[in-house]
């Protein structure tokens, strides 16, 4: 792994696959690090002919953390209630510019882009703000930013509130256990506790997540505008993937994204929640590869 200085941010990244393969940028979601992309999914992408680039968003993993007073609970609640009350140190546009800066640092003129959850929102913004950088787009378990579509299920809120109000972990084992439980709450039918424990351990080993970093990223989402109208201008091949059992970002978010982007393909899995289930990863990679093949050759 290595890092790039992008403006005043340090962005940690890792690359898998041969240097002469087609680049594909993977953007992870809120509170998740680059290791949240399953190893077998990355391996499948490499086998499909891609040079896979993963990185930590700011305020996650080994990338820079914001040097500013942490958001208060009131800031977060107001932002969740209405976008006009949301305040943030940065927005999704800034996170998309981080991604564009990383591509410039790596000397990559254009790439295929895949984003999951908040990463899907960033991928959309990257495509909108830097269209020349994106060959194809895949938005997974995400939304358009419209408050009506892709909200969290009311049935999930009690579990999320319990996590927010829980006493912060004080030991490594407690942090790992909390991570596993966080994954369990949002997963679909194919929750793999052994794999999720390994993932939680990887997160804690690199850098334990904090409520502050999570809340900064949540504020960035809440303070960012609805992208629906702008998504209609996207001209690159677009694939939207969503789980029908996703309660964190309801399936209406994926459906709205597919409606907004002209010519996009919507792929929904009945047992998938807010996760990347092992049994569907090969299908996801096949669909991502087919979508990428629809793109114009790099100029």
Q: What is the pLDDT along the chain (299 residues), one digit of tens a residue?
A: 699 999 999 999 999 999 999 999 999 999 999 999 999 999 999 999 999 999 999 999 999 998 877 777 777 767 666 676 677 889 999 999 999 999 999 999 999 999 999 999 999 999 999 999 999 999 999 999 998 999 999 898 888 777 766 778 889 999 999 999 999 999 999 999 999 999 999 999 998 667 788 888 988 998 899 999 999 999 999 999 999 999 999 999 999 999 999 999 999 999 999 999 999 999 999 999 999 999 987 75
Query: What confidence score (pLDDT) does residue 163 get?
Result: 73
Instruction: Enter the tokens of residue 44.
Output: 């499948």
Tokens 């969503």 appear where?
242
Q: Using CA atoms, how far apart are residues 213 and 59, in angstroms rounded to an integer?
A: 5
Angle at alpha carbon of residue 244, lines to 240 and 247, rounded to 5°: 105
pTM value is: 0.94
Query: What confidence score (pLDDT) does residue 170 get?
Result: 84
Query: What confidence score (pLDDT) does residue 215 get?
Result: 84
Given CATH 2.40.70.10, say whether it is the number of domain 2-151+212-293.
Answer: no
Contact 149, 255 (CB under 8 A): yes
Q: How many CB atoms lie within 10 A of CB 264?
A: 20
Query: What confidence score (pLDDT) does residue 67 get?
Result: 84
Residue ranges per domain, the chain? Answer: 2-151+212-293
Query: What confidence score (pLDDT) does residue 209 get?
Result: 67
Q: Using CA atoms, how far apart are residues 280 and 285, in angstroms rounded to an integer?
A: 9
Which of 25, 51, 225 is closest to 139 using CA atoms? 25
Query: What confidence score (pLDDT) does residue 43 get?
Result: 98
Query: What confidence score (pLDDT) does residue 296 get?
Result: 80
HSE-up of residue 283 (Cα within 13 Å, Cβ side): 11
Query: What confidence score (pLDDT) does residue 183 get?
Result: 93
């Amino acid at each position: 792994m290595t890092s790039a200085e992008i403006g005043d941010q340090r962005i940690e990244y890792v690359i898998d696959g041969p240097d002469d393969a087609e680049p594909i940028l993977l953007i992870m979601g809120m509170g998740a690090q680059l290791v949240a992309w399953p190893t077998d999914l990355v391996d499948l992408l490499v086998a499909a002919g891609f040079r896979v680039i993963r990185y930590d968003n700011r305020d996650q993993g080994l990338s820079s953390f914001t040097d500013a007073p942490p958001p208060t609970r009131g800031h977060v609640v107001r932002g969740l209630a209405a976008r006009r009350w949301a305040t943030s140190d940065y927005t999704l546009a800034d996170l998309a510019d981080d991604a564009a800066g990383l591509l410039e640092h790596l000397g990559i003129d254009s790439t295929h882009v895949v984003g999951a959850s908040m990463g899907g929102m960033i991928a959309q913004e990257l495509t909108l703000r830097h269209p020349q950088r994106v060959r194809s787009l895949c938005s997974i378990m995400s939304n358009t930013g419209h408050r009506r579509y892709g909200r969290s299920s009311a049935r999930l809120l009690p579990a999320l509130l319990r996590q927010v109000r829980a006493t912060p972990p004080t030991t490594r084992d407690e942090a790992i256990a909390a991570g596993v439980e966080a994954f369990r709450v949002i997963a679909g039918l194919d929750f793999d506790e052994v794999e999720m424990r390994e993932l939680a351990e990887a997160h804690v080993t690199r850098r334990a997540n904090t409520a502050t970093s999570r809340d900064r990223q949540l504020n960035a989402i809440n303070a960012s505008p609805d992208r629906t109208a702008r998504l209609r201008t996207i001209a690159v091949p677009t694939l939207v993937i969503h789980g029908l059992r996703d309660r964190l970002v309801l399936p209406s978010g994926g459906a709205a994204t597919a409606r907004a982007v002209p010519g996009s393909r919507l792929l929904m899995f009945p047992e998938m929640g807010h996760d990347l289930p092992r049994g569907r990863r090969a299908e996801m990679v096949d669909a991502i590869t087919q979508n990428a093949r629809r793109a114009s050759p790099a100029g």
